[in-house]
Amino acid sequence: CLAQLAGYPCCKKGNTKVYHQDENGDWGYDFKANEWCGITPFDGRKDDDNCWSEILGYPCCKGCTVYEIDDDGKWGYENNSWCGTQSYC
């Protein structure tokens, strides 16, 4: 599911109530585990072959959360470092 791109688990089968929506899809809540979980299935999005931010010295993001936009592109922040979001975000 798309939530895995943001570091969260997928909801278990049958857990389909949507509590929140964002760029990573629909989110449910697992009350037994006390954590958010993803509902939207991963649609086979493929990582970019060449990430635009790598030529600037920054890795490509795994998730799609955007914190900054400039002339170069959309920037995320993961593992204590800025990263460039992929084209499917």
Yes or no: say if 4 and 38 are a contact pair by the CB < 8 Å rule. yes
Say if residue 1's pLDDT is above 70.
yes
State how far the Cα of 38 lies from the Cα of 30, in Å rounded to an integer. Answer: 10
Q: Residue 87: which pLDDT band, with cuts at 50, 70 and 90? A: confident
Closest by CA position to 64, among listed 87, 34, 85: 85
Give the domain ranges of the chain: 2-38, 45-89
For the 45-89 domain, the top CATH level (class) is alpha beta
Cα dihedral sign for 29, 12, 25, 7?
Answer: positive
Furthest-apart CA atoms within the chain: distance in Å: 44
Could you read off the pLDDT of 7-56 as tens digits, one per residue?
Answer: 899 999 899 999 998 877 889 999 999 999 999 876 656 677 788 999 99
